[in-house]
Amino acid sequence: MNLTLYTVKALILLDVSNGSRVLAKYYNTGAPSNAATSPAVATGPAPTSTEFATLKDQKTFERRLWEKTRKLLNNEIILFNNHVVVYKGMADVMLFVVGSLEENELMLSSVLNTLYEAINLVLLKYQTEKRTIIENMDLVALAIDECIDNGIVIETDPGTIASRVSKRPSELADISFNDPNSISGAMNKVRDSFFAGILLK
Amino acid sequence: MSFGKKDEDAESRGVFYDKSQVLLETRVFNETPLNPRKSRLLLGKVLTLLYTGEHLTRAEATDLFFATTKLFQNKDPGLRQIIYLLIKELADKADDVLMVTSSLTKDINAKPEELFASPNLLSSAAASFGFSFGSRTTSLSSASAALGAGAGPGAVLGTNVCHRANALRAICRIMDPSTIPAIERFLKQAIVDRTAAVSTAALVSSYHVFPVARDLVRRWVNEVQEALTSPKVTSTSPSAYLSTGYIVQYHALGLLYLIRQADRMAVAKLVQSLARTSNVRSQWAQCMLVRFAVKCCEDESASFGGKNMVSVDGSLSAAMYEYLKSLCNNNDMVMLEAARALVSMVNSTPASLTATQVQPAVTALQQLLVSPKPALKFAALRTLHQLAQVNASLVTTCNLDMEQLVSDSNRSIATFAITTLLKTGTESSVDRLMKQISSFMSEISDEFKVIIIDAIRVLAVKFPAKQAVMLSFLASVLRDEGGVLPDCLETALAHLCEFIEDCEFTKLAVRILHLLGAEGPKTRDPAKYLRYIYNRVILENSNVRAAAVTALAAFGAHVDAVRPTVRVLLTRCLDDPDDEVRDRATFNLAALDQAELRAQYLLNDTVLAVPTLQAKLAHYTAAGDFTSAVDVAAVPRIPKAELVPARRRAGSPTRGGAMNSPMLGSPAMRTMTPTLGPATPTPAAAAAGPTGASTQWLEKEPLLAPLLPTLFKSTTAVPLTDRELEYHVSVVKHVFRDWLVLEIEVVNTMPEVLLENVAVSLVPDTPIDTVMKQMAVVPIASLKAHDAQRVFVAFQRAPGAVPTVSFATKLTMTVKDCDPVTHVPDSDQGYPEEFAVEDVDITLADYMLPTTVPDFSSAWDALDEPSQVVETLQVPGIPTLAVAVAQIVDLLGMRALEGSNMVPAEKHAHTLVLGGVFLGGVPVLVRVRMVLDAGAQAVAMEVAVRAGVPEVAQVVAQALQG
């Protein structure tokens, strides 16, 4: 029985066509850390295991997981390698949430759905697919960080998560830097900064 | 950011950026004025590198870390948030990360307007507007609602709130035990912050640092308690998300438990007080509370010596149980957690919940089974499966719902359904389940295959009658998977190896050994199976030992590397007390040593076609001519694979089932080598079993067919005429429980006569009316030339009567002359004729079936001594003991056992032992001690008969006397 708050062991995004990694975060892997500077991380109350300690272990796990699930995208849940894994397809990528064998499936499923919706929300303007995820990694990474902190689920409402992800800084500096002397540049600057202030964009 | 064509290949491999290129680009962090947008996008690239598994050296990480800290100069909120994230990601990769402590501390304490005061006038105004908006007593939810709507001022405020949370989460990742006290004040305050995000950040951060700052965190227990009991809503969304809105409670509860976990009483108090009220509103927190409640019950039970405390009134467990039971009607997540908690308390100890106590959980899980969501069905089934492991009867109420899921498109769900049903199902449903399993065995993961094989193993012990089905299933799995999935094959074989270690069923052990012999040599490490197999040789009964010897030989034949080992092991088997084991060991040793024999017998994948072989042997023995050996070469060979269905039809496999064909053939042939001398065995002794082919005409006779179920024995046909006579007549005796039917076959060899109304007249040599009565004669209406037809004569015997009699027999018929071609009679007028044939003898042998027993002396001892009848006889006119033996076997219709029908030529004393089953299924054993008086050509015998029924022994003994 898991009596700790550590619920998520890993969060993985894979390319559905070939299983290559788009994004992967493994929590509390017991990876070698700098004991002098950050012992707190290494010795948390989480049951640190070494099963995903090396990149090789992780990639092997991902490859086999992808092989098992790529044709069964609608199955949503699988018992895999002594883990409960819930997953979902998003266009050309697959989103996996990995928990321990004893974990409440519905908790994991809830995290999966939260992440799925939160990522869609922060990428609102774009189609959610591999390319846009990579191009907007800042937004996606922040959304994930607002949902899971080192294996602990900190928020389950996708709307709240999306609202906590800051927008990118405006193009303002770019324009002034690129074209400081042109009049149209100046006009653009005034206009943009006005709208930036009102709309934060 | 765009991807060039040439990058697409790398991109598809999950390599999106070149590391050195990205690190070089971090020079933009030094530019003035700093471009925050560009910097954030670049940090996005860095995160992509980190998340795709790119390795940074310590120096690279440290350089990157310090380059990033320069960005603190810029106050853009969008940039600042990603800096926090990067600090966390680099915290354990870079050196000297403590250097950013002061920057982060400043952010945690900063007033919002200070934090993001921008040189840009408009931004600044927006920021201060935002702050004044927030500093009014407006609740956070309305502020973030504004943020959700995308309004500028609110966004700045919301971002700022987040940044305090993010800075808190970041700073805890870079602290060490010595520096944590410096931030104690901020953390403690933040825990009770009225903003949910900040409170959560503080709680979670405290959770992370607890192991290194135990005493410090313990001092905040009041604050944590407050965070737990005065919940804050984080969500701004409509009611659908409301239950998730109190997530702070989850973190507070987790931390509070962590602080108090060593103090059992404190935990009990905490859980009990929270369970009593409805203050815990987050379902995540409720799930945690459920787990703590289970822990409390376990602890209480342990401290009361492993008793079921739920049944004790007023105990903590009883209260906890009521709480868990009440949650079984909650929302799905909590319901599942509570049901699973109750199920976890069912075990095989006295502390286990009773069936009634766990019932609410089963009902709850049953509800989840019909959910359309895979995760729900999966979770419910998995829990029921766990319960079924401990107590299958509790789950049977869900059988119907689970059967629906057997064909679920999610194989994990289907497999759980099946394995649970294998546990809970009845014997009758096993066949159906096995069929369903084999249909999708190839589609499921190895883990599940192991689960299924486990379940089947247990099932095999539970329903011994179904072992054949299960073993053939396992065998087919091994065949199908063997080539593709060596891992699975080896797992299954390993299971089987362990299984036979403590398998009590001989039949099962024999089949598993056969399987090991067939599949084991194909695995990567065949040597490891030898130990398991040889263990059987040491520990088991003779049947299993024999099978083990054959399996060992299979390894030796296929794998050159282990052949010397196998030879050593087989050599040890040569001293086995059982002759079959010795025979096999000898045979296999000889075959192993010569490549030619090895290829012929051990590596041969074909076997003799058993039905043909059987027919040939039956014919051979019936013909009675043993001067030439059976022509085995004339028997077709078939692949072993085709043999399997035939064997399955034949019912349970015998010892021979695991043997290959040469082994089947050789001992049989040995007993038939012509040492019997001139004596021929009686046809009765070679008769087919009760359902031999000889009943085929009887079956067509409507009057007599109803008797068939009581048929005991049919003899082979005995000719009653010479071959030269005009009519060929033979008789088959069918012995039933209460009837005797003579089937007299008549063949008319004369083309120019037609026989009509052919009947048989039987005159007994002794009066038989008291014991046997002729009840019916079925005549032949019309018999053309070269036609064979049958007359049936049925006698009813008095109950228990086994008369031996000789009938003077003649045919009665009407003869008509006819056209030799058309068989049309010349006139309607015929003439009656009688035709005498040889006598029909009914002997004791007609009421006896020959049989064999594994061990004569123990079988002899098993039959009652009082039933024994002993006679001494002096039989004249017998030249040798072999003749005497043949006559006795002939007379009694029994089988000579233990090779006692073979008498060494010069011997003058011999003991013959015979086995048989008498009418009504009575076992009969006979022992004849005989001494030859060569001069007088006479044999003195002492005949001892034992039978299941004393009267039968009497009858048998008398038969010999006559």
- What is the tens place of the pLDDT at every residue in B593-614? 777 777 766 666 556 666 667 7
Residues from chain A contacting residue B210 (CB–CB below 8 Å): 44-45
The per-residue pLDDT for A12 is 96
The per-residue pLDDT for B703 is 77
More confident residue, B208 or B799: B208
Residue in A37, A136, A196 closest to B97 by CB = A37
Most A CBs within 10 Å, among B115, B207, B446, to test the A interface: B207
- For residues B835 and B855, state if they share a domain: no
Model pLDDT for residues B824-864, shown as the tens digit of each residue: 887 777 888 888 888 888 888 888 877 766 667 877 887 77
Rg (CA), chain A: 20
Residues from chain A contacting residue B378 (CB–CB below 8 Å): 77, 105
Percentage with pLDDT > 90 across chain B: 12
Residue A176 to residues A192, B37, B123, Cα–Cα distance (Å): 11, 13, 16
Residues from chain B contacting residue A15 (CB–CB below 8 Å): 12, 14
Judge whether A155 and A113 are in contact, CB under 8 Å. no
B151: pLDDT strictly greater than 70: no
Residue range(s) defining the domain that contains residue B875: 847-959
State which residue of chain B sits closest to A78, comparing Cα positions: B412
The per-residue pLDDT for B312 is 82
Rounded Cα–Cα distance for residues B366 and B364 (Å): 5
User: What's B278's DSSP letter?
Assistant: S
Judge whether B68 and B150 are in contact, CB under 8 Å. no
- What is the 3 state secondary structure string of B349-360? CCCCCCHHHHHH
Q: DSSP readout, A10-65?
A: EEEEEETTT--EEEEEE-S------TTT-HHHHT-SS---STT-SHHHHHHHHHHH
- For residues B724 and B828, state if they share a domain: yes
Model pLDDT for residues B911-955, shown as the tens digit of each residue: 888 888 888 778 888 988 888 887 778 888 888 898 888 888 888
Rounded Cα–Cα distance for residues B387 and B360 (Å): 13
- Domains of chain A by start residue, with CATH: 8-28+52-166 (3.30.450.60)
Residue found under tokens 């066509």: A17
Model pLDDT for residues B632-679, shown as the tens digit of each residue: 655 555 555 545 443 443 333 333 333 333 333 333 333 333 333 333
Show the tokens assigned to B464: 């011994």
Q: In this structure, is residue B853 part of a structural domain?
A: yes
Strands B922-933 and A93-100: unpaired
CB contact under 8 A, A78 and B236: no
Residue in B126, B162, B210 closest to A164 by CB = B162
Flag whether residue A22 sits within 8 Å of chain B, measured between CB atoms: yes
Q: In this structure, is residue B737 part of a structural domain?
A: yes
Flag whether residue A3 sits within 8 Å of chain B, measured between CB atoms: yes
A100 by DSSP, 3-state: which? strand
Domain boundary among B785, B811, B842: B842
- For residues B838 and B885, state if they share a domain: no
Residues with Cβ within 8 Å of residue A169, at least 6 apart in sequence: B36, B37, B40, B76, B78, B79
Taking Cα atoms as reference points, which of A94, A152, A100, A142 lies closest to residue A118? A142
- For residues B818 and B703, state if they share a domain: yes
Residues from chain B contacting residue A149 (CB–CB below 8 Å): 169, 201, 204
Judge whether B409 and A74 are in contact, CB under 8 Å. yes
- For residues B813 and B940, state if they share a domain: no
Q: In this structure, is residue B651 part of a structural domain?
A: no
Model pLDDT for residues B92-101, shown as the tens digit of each residue: 888 888 888 8
Rounded Cα–Cα distance for residues B714 and B849 (Å): 10
Does B33 sit behind a cis peptide bond, omega within 30 degrees of 0 on the bond before it? Answer: yes
**Average confidence (pLDDT) over B158-166:** 69
Domain count for chain B, please give it: 3
Task: Compute the count of residue pairs across chains A and B with CB atoms less than 8 Å apart.
Answer: 293
Residues in chain B, overall count: 962
State which residue of chain B sits closest to A55, comparing Cα positions: B53
State which residue of chain B sits closest to A56, comparing Cα positions: B53
Residues with Cβ within 8 Å of residue B48, at least 6 apart in sequence: A23, A134, A137, B16, B17
Rounded Cα–Cα distance for residues B10 and B251 (Å): 42
Residues from chain A contacting residue B148 (CB–CB below 8 Å): 159, 162-163
Q: What is the pTM of this model?
A: 0.57
Strand-by-strand arrangement of the A83-90 sheet: A21-26, A10-15, A93-100, A83-90, A77-80
- For residues B514 and B595, state if they share a domain: yes
A26: pLDDT strictly greater than 90: yes
| Residues paired with residue A152 on neighbouring β-strands, in sequence order | A6, A149
The per-residue pLDDT for B906 is 75
Residue B907 to residues B257, B880, B884, B886, B931, Cα–Cα distance (Å): 93, 9, 13, 16, 9
CB contact under 8 A, A106 and B344: no
B686: pLDDT strictly greater than 90: no
- Angle (CA) B714-B719-B720 rounded to 5° is 115
Q: In this structure, is residue B263 part of a structural domain?
A: no
CB contact under 8 A, A77 and B159: no
- Angle (CA) A124-A125-A131 rounded to 5° is 95
The nearest CA of chain A is from the CA of B604 a distance in Å of 39
- For residues B757 and B852, state if they share a domain: no
The nearest CA of chain A is from the CA of B285 a distance in Å of 10
**What contacts 24+ positions apart, CB below 8 Å, involve B792-795?**
B792/B698, B792/B701, B792/B703, B792/B704, B792/B741, B792/B742, B792/B743, B792/B744, B793/B741, B793/B742, B793/B744, B793/B760, B793/B762, B794/B703, B794/B704, B794/B739, B794/B740, B794/B741, B795/B739, B795/B740, B795/B741, B795/B742
Total Cβ atoms within 10 A of residue B266? 15
Q: What proportions of chain A, in percent to the nearest 5, are helix, strand and coil? A: 40, 20, 40
Which helix (H) or strand (E) element contains residue B923? strand B922-933
pLDDT band at A66; cut points 50, 70, 90: very high
- For residues B822 and B854, state if they share a domain: no
Taking Cα atoms as reference points, which of B710, B733, B714, B689 lies closest to residue B850? B689
Q: In this structure, is residue B938 part of a structural domain?
A: yes
- For residues B857 and B835, state if they share a domain: no
B620: pLDDT strictly greater than 90: no
The per-residue pLDDT for B607 is 63
Judge whether A97 and A76 are in contact, CB under 8 Å. no
Q: Is the Cα dihedral B192, B97, B52, A40 positive or negative?
A: negative
Residues from chain A contacting residue B287 (CB–CB below 8 Å): 104, 107
The per-residue pLDDT for B707 is 76
Most B CBs within 10 Å, among A108, A149, A190, to test the B interface: A149
Q: In this structure, is residue B573 part of a structural domain?
A: yes
B46 by DSSP, 3-state: which? helix
Q: In this structure, is residue B414 part of a structural domain?
A: no
Q: Count, in order, helices (H) and strands (E) of chain A.
A: 8, 7
**Average confidence (pLDDT) over B263-273:** 90
Most B CBs within 10 Å, among A110, A163, A174, A179, to test the B interface: A163
Show the tokens assigned to A156: 């389950």
Rounded Cα–Cα distance for residues B122 and B128 (Å): 10
More confident residue, B825 or B708: B825
- Judged by average pLDDT, the poorest of A154-163, B77-86, B437-446, B687-696 is B687-696
pLDDT band at B411; cut points 50, 70, 90: confident
Judge whether B309 and B301 are in contact, CB under 8 Å. yes
What is the domain-level CATH number for residue B741? 2.60.40.1480
Residue B950 to residues B322, B892, B947, B956, Cα–Cα distance (Å): 70, 17, 6, 10
Judge whether A11 and A97 are in contact, CB under 8 Å. yes
Most A CBs within 10 Å, among B82, B86, B442, to test the A interface: B82
- For residues B831 and B699, state if they share a domain: yes
Most B CBs within 10 Å, among A6, A38, A68, A96, to test the B interface: A38
The per-residue pLDDT for A77 is 92
Domain boundary among B782, B808, B842: B842
Amino acid in position B431: D
B865: pLDDT strictly greater than 80: no
Model pLDDT for residues B127-141, shown as the tens digit of each residue: 333 333 333 333 333
- Judged by average pLDDT, the poorest of A61-70, B80-89, B769-778 is B769-778
Model pLDDT for residues B236-259, shown as the tens digit of each residue: 544 433 445 688 999 999 999 999
The nearest CA of chain B is from the CA of A109 a distance in Å of 7
Residue in B211, B245, B333 closest to A45 by CB = B211
pLDDT, chain A, mean: 80
Residues in chain A, overall count: 201
**What contacts 24+ positions apart, CB below 8 Å, involve B816-825?**
B816/B753, B816/B754, B816/B755, B816/B756, B817/B752, B817/B753, B817/B754, B818/B752, B818/B753, B818/B754, B819/B752, B820/B751, B820/B752, B820/B785, B823/B754, B823/B784, B823/B785, B825/B754
A145: pLDDT strictly greater than 90: yes
Domain boundary among B842, B866, B891: B842
pLDDT band at A133; cut points 50, 70, 90: very high
The per-residue pLDDT for B642 is 47
pLDDT band at B957; cut points 50, 70, 90: confident
- Judged by average pLDDT, the poorest of A2-16, A45-59, B883-897 is A45-59
The nearest CA of chain B is from the CA of A83 a distance in Å of 11
Phi-psi region of B525 (alpha: psi -120 to 50; beta: other; left: phi over 0): beta
pLDDT band at B415; cut points 50, 70, 90: confident
Judge whether B630 and B672 are in contact, CB under 8 Å. yes
Model pLDDT for residues B56-94, shown as the tens digit of each residue: 999 999 999 999 988 988 888 889 999 999 999 998 888
pLDDT, chain B, mean: 77
Most B CBs within 10 Å, among A7, A15, A34, to test the B interface: A34
CB contact under 8 A, A200 and B76: no
Q: Which of residues 135-194 of A touch B (CB under 8 A)?
A: 135-139, 141-142, 145-146, 149-150, 152-157, 159-160, 162-174, 177, 193-194
The per-residue pLDDT for B375 is 92
Model pLDDT for residues B336-380, shown as the tens digit of each residue: 999 999 998 888 777 788 888 889 999 999 999 988 899 999 999
A184: pLDDT strictly greater than 70: no
- For residues B808 and B885, state if they share a domain: no
More confident residue, B688 or A171: A171
Q: DSSP readout, B532-568?
A: HHHHHHHHS-HHHHHHHHHHHHHHHHH-GGGHHHHHH
B5: pLDDT strictly greater than 70: no
Q: In this structure, is residue B6 part of a structural domain?
A: no
What is the domain-level CATH number for residue B894? 3.30.310.10
The per-residue pLDDT for A198 is 57
- For residues B802 and B870, state if they share a domain: no
The per-residue pLDDT for B572 is 85
A153: pLDDT strictly greater than 90: yes
B687: pLDDT strictly greater than 70: no
More confident residue, A109 or B399: A109
Which helix (H) or strand (E) element contains residue B939? strand B938-947
The per-residue pLDDT for A185 is 52
The per-residue pLDDT for A23 is 94
Q: Which of residues 116-135 of A touch B (CB under 8 A)?
A: 131, 134-135
B128 by DSSP, 3-state: which? helix
Judge whether B161 and B140 are in contact, CB under 8 Å. yes
The nearest CA of chain A is from the CA of B147 a distance in Å of 7
Show the tokens assigned to B846: 């007609």
